[in-house]
Amino acid sequence: MREISTSMWTRRRFGKAALAMSGVLASQLRRTAAQAPVDARVGVSGPDSLRAHAALRGMMYGAAVIPALLDVEGVAAGGSKDPYTLLVSSQTNILVAENAMKWAALRPSADSFDFAEADRLMRFAALSGQRVRGHNLCWHEALPAWFKATATTANARTLLTEHIQKVAGRYRNQIHSWDVVNEAVNPKDGRPDGLRASPWLELAGPDYIELAFKTAAAADPTAKLTYNDYDIELDTPEQSEKRGQVMLLIRRLKARNVPIQAVGVQSHLKADGPMPGTGLLQFIRDMAKIGIEVFITEMDVNTVGVGGAPELQDAAVANVYRDYLGKVLGEPNVSIALTWGITSAHTWLNESKEPWAKRSDGLRQRTLPFDDDMNATRAFRAIRDAIDATKHVTPVAPLVLGPAGRDPGGLYKPFPVQGSPTNESPASQPPKPATPPAGPF
């Protein structure tokens, strides 16, 4: 599979798979590993997968996915042969929709909803034994075309409330965590409270954030409600200031008893940029003190600033994953990391024409644990090593069961899941710690 295009993926049709998914997966991934041009011949399937390594440590590794590319029907029929589908189900135990749960995707018009793609993701995750992050309920981007002409100061709060009720309510008890508000801080806008001068702020007032979290808590009491933002990782003056403003926002919300359980640090990093330093670690520890978990929600490593040869890109990218995840996953309140995509065949960095994403040599970015051909890159090994190095054992909060007594959105805990291609047998469980881990997590 040397040439991968979106149309190929979407056109792919599946017969009734005769082979059990696990068998197909194992042979596919064995082939993938054997073809790996860059990395050592590291095993990537079954017990060698990111999913298995994460599960062994009570952690989650996940990726942003495009639901339309997932062969849900094949999985439901007992097995899929589609490589992207197999890769996603075998390597991740938590998923997030790259775009399918944003306003623009869900709201074709002011008074209608289209849940087809979002539902597709939920079904796939349930079949594959994965949790789902909801992304997102409130953002200044990805607003539908009708929004500008329709939203006013008179109706913005109602629009926001009803959207959250409907969307979070639809997936009640099935979502691991919701990015309730995305990217609401932007010190460059010059406001004393650091908030972004977004349409939501301008139309609904600065307490739209509080309104969104309270509405989400009522609509889905079991999701971990998350504030998600970017450019808060480094110790540069701009990012330090922004991180400080995010901290103040979280403290304001906590002081007002607003339901918020987590902060998402997007972690779009640069292969040639400065590495995150002590500021982020201090931030994570300050969050721990107030009972807030930190999720790495959208990690990728932009290679516009480094040489284009695959080995040059891969070495620089792997260093960033190793160093960054090595640091943050060492903190007890950080036990979830997602990359923004899983293969460089599908990453916004290769789709964008923006100068910050487009390589001047015209080569594609190799920014994720798998490359365009779905071979493991050196980042795969770096991520897995960082997961292995963590001291977590079972730090993730216990599952909250839905009304039917099951955990419809979860299943991340390694136990046999029918139809799951993963090799997460109970036998591979780590020994239970003698005493429960300390702390609020």
Between 103 and 348, name the residue whose CB sits nearer to ligand XIL: 348
Closer of 61 and 348 to ligand XIL (Cβ): 348
Query: Of the two residues 147 and 230, which places its CB atom closer to ligand XIL in the complex?
Result: 230
Q: Which is nearer to ligand XIL, 39 or 98 (CB)?
A: 98
String marking each residue 90-129 x if it binds ligand XIL according to CB under 6 A? --------xx------------------------------
| Rounded Cα gap, residues 277 and 68, in angstroms | 38
Can residue 367 be called a binding residue for ligand XIL (CB under 6 A)? Answer: no
**Beta carbon nearer to ligand XIL, 142 or 218:** 142
Answer yes or no whether residue 266 interacts with ligand XIL by CB under 6 A.
yes
The site map against ligand XIL for 154-193 (x = CB under 6 A) is ----------------------------x-----------
Site size for ligand XIL, by CB under 6 A? 7
The contact mask relative to ligand XIL for 39-78 (x = CB under 6 A, - = no) is: ----------------------------------------
Among 9, 227, 324, 348, binds ligand XIL (CB under 6 A): 348
CB of 97: closest distance to ligand XIL in angstroms? 9
Least spacing, CB of residue 25 vs ligand XIL, in Å: 26
Quick check: 423 binds ligand XIL (CB under 6 A)? no
Interaction mask 213-252, ligand XIL, x per CB under 6 A? -----------------x----------------------
Q: How far is the CB of 134 from ligand XIL (least distance, A)?
A: 12
- Nearest-approach distance from CB 348 to ligand XIL, in angstroms: 3
Minimum CB distance to ligand XIL, residue 138 (Å): 11
Q: Could you list the residues that contact ligand XIL (CB under 6 A)?
A: 98-99, 182, 230, 266, 298, 348
